[in-house]
Amino acid sequence: MFGVSATLQQASARRARLATGGADRAWLPVFGVLGRLMGDRWWLAGWVLNVAGFVAHSAALHLGSITVVQAILAVQLAFAIGLAARLRRQRVLVRDLSGAVAVCAGVIIVVALRGEVPQAVPRPERLVTLGLAAALLIGSILVLARGVGHRPQVRSALVAVGAGLSFCTTAVFVVVVTDAISTGGVAAALGWPLVALAGSAVMGSLLVQDSFAHGSLPTALTTMTITDPVASCVVGVVLFDAVRGPTPHELTELAGAGLLIALGVAILANSPNLRTEEAPARAATS
């Protein structure tokens, strides 16, 4: 659902920005095209899929390790390419299959190493520290992005890093909130973690649309899809592992898994099936 959503929404966001002249005076120029996006049926279809994906994602985070669940999200690109190839009546390329194999191999290693490690919800003060650090880091990234507005692909990549960090933060608070609901009911979840979850989710959504609007789908998806699992792996080990951190040998294997996932993501996100930014919408219209 996330992969299909990204494919539909990036084409719509890019067209909307170009239709408005591509002015970049604001910190988040995507605000200038939100009205146009709300009237685009393909963007709205992507939004519905994104919400449905978030529900499934939340259930997965409640049941499993944040490190593993966020790593598995990297496979969304394979589905995005499948949709793009279908809409353009093209075949999935051998290079795309090799990228998918690399991503899946990396995910298998992560699951084998960290899938059975017991998880524990971190103490509130550590969550506050995480939230403040994420806000400071994302704010710094937006300052950098504003300074390189004349280089749209670089700006898109920087904003996508911010989106990936936002989604990682959202995943952390999803774990906290769903755990509170499972143990104490809905009333137990009504607190600042729920506010933090909503804030990080909204920020991530805005940043990813801004990244889509300024650069190509490969730039935005590659950067965001790598940032999220890498950040989540660090957060998972530091905040959620209840028993032990990885041994030096496991760290080496996790680094290898990360490289496999990053390589696979880079191959998939730069597939020729994703390069023509407006093709998905045109093909769907026809």
pLDDT above 50 (res 219) = yes
pLDDT the model gives residue 21:
59
Among 51-55, 149-153, 204-208, the range of highest mean pLDDT:
51-55
pLDDT tens string 223-279: 887 888 888 888 887 777 766 667 778 788 888 888 888 888 888 877 776 654 444
Which of these ranges, 11-25, 39-53, 145-159, 262-276, has the smallest mean pLDDT?
A: 11-25
Domain map of the chain by residue range? 2-285
pLDDT above 80 (res 117) = no
Q: Give the torsion sign (CA, 205, 206, 211, 213).
A: positive
pLDDT above 50 (res 158) = yes
What's the whole-number average pLDDT of the chain?
78
pLDDT above 80 (res 202) = yes
pLDDT tens string 58-82: 888 888 888 888 888 888 777 777 7
Contact present, 45 and 75 (Cβ < 8 Å): no
pLDDT the model gives residue 217:
67
Contact present, 219 and 153 (Cβ < 8 Å): yes
pLDDT the model gives residue 285:
40
pTM for this prediction? 0.72
pLDDT the model gives residue 34:
67
